[in-house]
Amino acid sequence: MKFKEVTIFGGTGLIGKYLLQILIDDPEIDSIDFVTRRPVKINNEKVKVRIINFSNKQSIFNSIKNGCTVFSSIGTTQARVKGDNEKYREIDFDITYNIAMACKEKNVDHFSFVSSSGADLKSNNFYLKLKGEIENSIMKLKLKSLSIIRPSLLLGKRNEKRYGEQIAQFIMPFFSFLMPPNYKPISAYKVAKAMVNISKNKKSGTNIYHYNEIKDN
């Protein structure tokens, strides 16, 4: 099943920037609502930039059209929030959950969002536990069609510098053959491409995608 209208949240990040370009280049896509918290210059007739307050539920609701396909790669880092876990949660959990809630109310055809390999409600790791909480809360909404994308280390050039991640990106590919499949590094472009391909299938219910499923899409 094809789709014509899409909405993107988190389009300025590593995955999001590839996602936007893939959708722009896709002849099946007629219009793209690019939802952002700050002005972004995008010169393409398909794209409409919507600047909103992500802390406002109604603004999120108003930015989603009935029946469209929605992508989210919203996320932050400890460096950005200066180690404030509450702020981290406000961004990773609250925004993503409010997007999912809006998708439920607007009866969207499909919602796809980026989580993480190892996401687990019972984890002792703050990041993985939070990702598990996000997944669990959104799954309880019972959306018509939901894809949870669980990549591990993302390969690609970010706009901001993350020195630890840059080192890992250089080293990890040499050892990826020793790693369990779900924890192998993968290119952000491949993740974005898989999100688009998976969303076109619009499998009903909740479906979770790990390394192998992402790689093969």
Three-state helix/strand/coil letters over 32-97: EEEEECCCCCCCCCCEEEEECCCCCHHHHHHCCCCCCEEEECCCCCHHHHCCCHHHHHHHHHHHHH
The token duo for 135 is: 């997944």
Contact between residue 198 and residue 140 where contact means Cβ atoms under 8 Å apart: no
Report pLDDT digits (tens) over 96-147: 999 999 999 999 999 999 999 999 999 999 999 999 999 999 999 999 999 9
Sign of CA dihedral 102, 88, 153, 139: negative
- Res 168: pLDDT: 45
pLDDT (0 to 100) of residue 15: 95
CA diameter of the chain? 47
* Count of CA atoms in the C-beta half-sphere (13 A) of 198: 31
pTM of full prediction above 0.75: yes
Regions in the chain scoring below 50 on pLDDT? 1, 162-165, 167-170
Distance, in Å, from the CA atom of 49 to the CA atom of 108, rounded to the nearest integer, reads 19
N-terminal to C-terminal alpha carbon distance within the chain = 15
- CA–CA distance, 132 with 167 (Å, rounded to integer): 26
Question: What per-residue confidence (pLDDT) applies to 84?
Answer: 86
Cβ(111)–Cβ(145) below 8 Å: yes
Domains and CATH numbers, the chain: 5-210 (3.40.50.720)
Q: How high is the pLDDT of residue 108? A: 95
d(CA 74, CA 11): 8
